[in-house]
Structure 1
């Protein structure tokens, strides 16, 4: 169904993205394409879809791919039918029904007499039955736009489907519909996603990295198992190489000491024997050259092992290094931080929550805030943070330090450079080198310190946000996370999960990622209706 051979892509600025990529999908395969941000997953899908030319290599498909991109802004000026590329065929269908049976209309329709029926059924499946096909795309939410293009799969019935982060803008109900649809579909699918629940449904996992594409012949469970085995083998290899380096350095030291003793002993004998000065100088030079050669041999061996060890360490997982390093001693478990009694909010005179909300938040709790899109999750967060007041009911807030991390990481100032942003959180008076050590720990090397924050990816902003909280030293009483995994790859989700699990304060999370909520040990759910 899909064959890729020696595919290479070079950015217009001449930077190489990937080189000699090879991939094969057979009919009815459902494969996941995963990899860290920046490895080229979205670019690869665009090339397969024919929307972007490759720099070299061959892409062969037995069917025209149906491609659903990650972003939809380019369709905002179109109607739903135009975005789905069915407007002309629908017009021809309706004109034929009205009696205008022309050759042009018949050619446009191409005997597709069930088109209208498929449109109605597909939109209904995705909960879009209230929308008119002539409605402009800009009037739809991100989740609704995603559902429009997902409906297009049932409308066009393609044999090959390319999906780029299809669950990103969907709520929990929408994600479940997507999972059901993927399981029931007979199309061949290549899916770029970080949604672990979705990944478990796919038959094959393909990982794109700088080394190319590695194929794991099973679902995400199998992939994780294989990666753990690879990680254990890598750790064993690192330990083995560290041992070899210690032995090489020890041998280098012992050889140097032994040579020094031999040289000193030989010099004493030569002096006692009363050798001529010229002969003593010749022998001295020979000894020095011999010592220098030995040093060079051992230094070369130590250097080679050190370089191999350095390369191996670069492959090690980074999650364990990126934990919160702040003082958590001021956090007292069980303290009442927020109390709501019969609270409600209204838009246009209509109350938002039925029934009104009554709940408490105590220190140390891990709470998920769930509900369909439009159920008022963001409004409730603003009330908890003190940015809004309820229109009905009462709230009590204990004085606390709260950090709100939204999906755009807006606490990061895009006008600052990376080091300047870190310095903004330096309330504990850390020295410059100490800040840079922490930046390094969160993968911001020297070349990144002067990079403008606006140029950072979602994953990089998340890591910088975690680093800044560590630099501030004092743990916040509450951390609020609003859809934190939306724009992150799997590695960065693991980094975030590890850091959050190291935090001992109160956690309030808005997320449709059920797997993430399980991993951070959410204890209680506040569900909005």
Structure 2
């Protein structure tokens, strides 16, 4: 057996049900082999839940998970651990505490035992942080002072230091700027052991050795990167479409033949009844012929019905091979923003002033940690922030903000979250609005804390876009982080129809170009610069 065929993770009849009874994974059996695997699937299919089951964060309701070696896990909501330190992200906090106690003169044997002869832990950790693009980040810095990208890169460094056999990464490129993404790509290119990556980052997925898709409760594993899998899928779907058309044509043929045969039978019965009534032949002969005709007609009808049923079954079978993906469908109300209406002002210490006016679309770019999120938060809270490199002032109180860290109320239900944004709406109106975001029926009563990252994002997006009265200015901080590719398409469509002001922070150049950005603002150590090209 070659190394690429050795199992790293084996799932045997795996099932998991949430405490509220909602099934997340049912009877899933699959194998992840040694190497790099990209795990894809639409939001809500259970990708994050599957990683948590493999990591041991969740216990299966039924079935088993078998892992070869130790497991390291980078969760999707890592940036919410604002109270943690960089040392904790690296997994060296206990060693570091013991080292500092010894260096301060504390000879307690417990410290030597905790250190485990890892005397260069601090120097080694700082060197690894520098290597991945985080020079000058102290080990005692709290996550709350880091950008989302810096947090992810620090945690990834911790996984490298731990040398786990199987590493699980849930949306690792979320919040990373372009340079940081390339550092991540390089790190994964030289990674030893096995990696399973949940991502919607096509560039990252194309670095994988295999692609696994979680869909409709089953896991399909393809021996190649994302683009190769999409080519394979396109060929497969084209064949399925052709097979469906052939099956539908056969069904129409069978139905037409049944109608023609039934017409002939009806004509024969009419002629036979006329002969019988005219008594052209002896009664006994007529009765025998009538009975024979009835038997023959019954057999023929049975054959015709069976042929039609078989053709219908073939259509159903081919139809199931065709993908019918559910996507969010959003129609935004008009926020009534005249072209001359000034909505916000961004400025810096060098005297640069940039105005957001009318239904203008603005992209704010810059490296991780430069202060983009802090600048946006000053705009939301209508207060300056000295030392961040910029200040902001809003001229409307109807501002919708989608933060990079979705700190939602985990104990609230989906319906309760939207009710807070639209208190005057009826329950029927709330349910109708949530249905556009794929939350239907009893799903709206699920706790936010039990949702996947993509589902949580859809809740936040619904709360943002369905606010009454509608927001005149939308501020989106890395909005595509947790969206599947289909939902990104729908978000672009919705924002394309939005007639208010829009400020977007994103490292996804393809997404920004599709939004029709009119004003580009680059933020760097020298302040704000307008009309900067995309890099």
Quick check: TM above 0.5?
yes
Take 1:238 and 1:418, find their aligned partners in 2: how far apart are those partners? 41
Q: 2:125 aligns with which of 119, 127, 140?
A: 119
Mapped pair 1:25 → 2:33:
yes
Question: What residue is the counterpart of 1:7 in the other structure?
Answer: 12
| Secondary structure of 1:202 counterpart | coil
Question: What residue is the counterpart of 2:309 in the other structure?
Answer: 300
Q: 1:209 aligns with which of 210, 215, 233?
A: 215
| Secondary structure of 1:307 counterpart | helix
Take 1:486 and 1:166, find their aligned partners in 2: how far apart are those partners? 10
Take 1:162 and 1:257, find their aligned partners in 2: how far apart are those partners? 65
Q: 2:49 aligns with which of 43, 52, 71?
A: 43
Take 1:468 and 1:269, find their aligned partners in 2: how far apart are those partners? 77
1:403 CA drift (Å):
7.8
1:137 CA drift (Å):
4.9
Mapped pair 1:256 → 2:256:
no
Mapped pair 1:316 → 2:324:
yes
1:69 CA drift (Å):
1.4
Question: What residue is the counterpart of 1:349 in the other structure?
Answer: none
Question: What residue is the counterpart of 1:227 in the other structure?
Answer: 233
Contact 1:418 1:448 in 2 (8 A): no
**Uncovered stretches (5+) of structure 2, i.e. residues with no partner:** 1-5, 525-535
Mapped pair 1:56 → 2:67:
no
1:103-118 pair list within 5 angstroms? 106-118=112-124
Take 1:90 and 1:394, find their aligned partners in 2: how far apart are those partners? 40
Question: What residue is the counterpart of 1:268 in the other structure?
Answer: 274
| Secondary structure of 2:66 counterpart | strand
Question: What residue is the counterpart of 1:238 in the other structure?
Answer: 244
- TM-score w.r.t. length of structure 2: 0.70
1:448 CA drift (Å):
6.0
Number of residue equivalences: 498
Q: 2:371 aligns with which of 366, 372, 375?
A: 375
Take 1:98 and 1:340, find their aligned partners in 2: how far apart are those partners? 52
1:34 CA drift (Å):
1.4
1:165 CA drift (Å):
1.4
1:166 CA drift (Å):
1.7
Question: What residue is the counterpart of 2:353 in the other structure?
Answer: 357
1:379 CA drift (Å):
5.1
Task: Tell me which moved more, 365-374 or 264-273.
Answer: 365-374
Contact 1:163 1:190 in 2 (8 A): yes
Q: Structure 1, residues 259-302: CA drift from partner, whole Å, max 9, x if none?
A: 22222222222222274899599749758855764674355335
| Secondary structure of 1:21 counterpart | strand
* CA 1:324–1:297: 2 relative to 1, 3 Å: same
1:102-501 pair list within 5 angstroms? 106-125=112-131, 132-134=138-140, 137=143, 142-186=148-192, 188-210=194-216, 212-273=218-279, 275=283, 279=287, 283=291, 289=298, 293=302, 296-297=305-306, 300-301=309-310, 303-308=312-317, 310-313=319-322, 315-318=323-326, 344=347, 352=348, 354-358=350-354, 367-371=362-366, 372-373=368-369, 375-376=371-372, 414-415=414-415, 447=441, 459=454, 481-497=476-492
| Secondary structure of 2:224 counterpart | coil
Q: Structure 1, residues 169-228: CA drift from partner, whole Å, max 9, x if none?
A: 434554344334333544542211122233233333222223533233333332332232
Take 2:419 and 2:153, find their aligned partners in 1: how far apart are those partners? 40
Contact 2:98 2:114 in 1 (8 A): yes
Task: Tell me which moved more, 301-310 or 508-517.
Answer: 301-310
Take 1:302 and 1:512, find their aligned partners in 2: how far apart are those partners? 50
Q: Structure 1, residues 221-265: CA drift from partner, whole Å, max 9, x if none?
A: 323322322332333233233323332332333233232222222
Q: CA RMSD in A?
A: 5.3
Take 1:223 and 1:424, find their aligned partners in 2: how far apart are those partners? 47
- TM-score w.r.t. length of structure 1: 0.71
Take 1:380 and 1:87, find their aligned partners in 2: how far apart are those partners? 32
| Secondary structure of 1:167 counterpart | coil
Q: Structure 1, residues 348-385: CA drift from partner, whole Å, max 9, x if none?
A: xxxx464523367686x7642223456356756996x9
Take 2:252 and 2:464, find their aligned partners in 1: how far apart are those partners? 37
| Secondary structure of 2:257 counterpart | helix
Task: Tell me which moved more, 254-263 or 475-484.
Answer: 475-484
Contact 1:481 1:509 in 2 (8 A): yes
